[in-house]
Copies of this chain bind each other. A is one copy, B any other.
């Protein structure tokens, strides 16, 4: 029997899914998982995702690492860098350790751990290809986990889930309405995510535009700009090979 693919639209719904036998894909397109992809693609040694700002500062000192993170879309006080993929070019991040805290993505990752997820990876349009290839080759059940915005549904994470379902639908059982909706929504974009988000004036798109972050949005809503597999292992996000 084929493995199944399901989509969870908000961390507040995660408890409805048994993830003990699934790969959970943490999706936080604007911008945590796009930035994670960029940093690892550009040679970061590894990334430690933490829940709280003070934990981030403490661990940064212990490991002599870069500390970064945002709250409500702005650099959190006490941290060095923000949550922009552009903050992490190779010239800066190569061979460095990054300790990162974000509003929604980190939270979902830790919740998945608590629910004993069999395996955790992170996904974004920046690493769509590698994510899809890995999931396809795994033969395991998949839960696409949208980080949402303070638990409220968002378009960008759902569109990414839809892009994954679109590419995996022949090899997996797609029997959940959320996955079907995500796929229909992705089809509706005709492949141009940026234009779609602009047209729909999605909430977080507008928020970031308000912070003058159009270049970030371009990066996060294009395909495969930092294409590598991102796996969570022993508390660290690392570039995976397969």
Contact = CB atoms under 8 A, between A and B. Distances in A.
A152 interface: yes
A16 B151 contact: yes
A185 B187 CA distance: 11
Given A10-B13, A13-B153, A181-B181, 5 more contacts: A12-B12, A16-B150, A176-B203, A180-B202, A188-B188
A41 B149 CA distance: 40
A152 B177 contact: yes
B154 A177 contact: yes
Interface in A159-186: 175-178, 180-181, 184-185
A29 interface: no
B12 A13 contact: yes
Interface of A: 9-10, 12-13, 16, 149-155, 158, 175-178, 180-181, 184-185, 187-188, 200-204
Contacts of A150: 16
A175 B203 contact: yes
Contacts of A184: 185, 188, 200
18 contacts: A9-B9, A9-B10, A9-B153, A12-B13, A149-B177, A153-B176, A153-B181, A154-B177, A155-B180, A158-B181, A177-B200, A180-B201, A180-B202, A181-B181, A181-B185, A184-B185, A184-B188, A188-B188
B155 A176 contact: no
A161 to B, nearest CB: 12
A180 B155 CA distance: 8
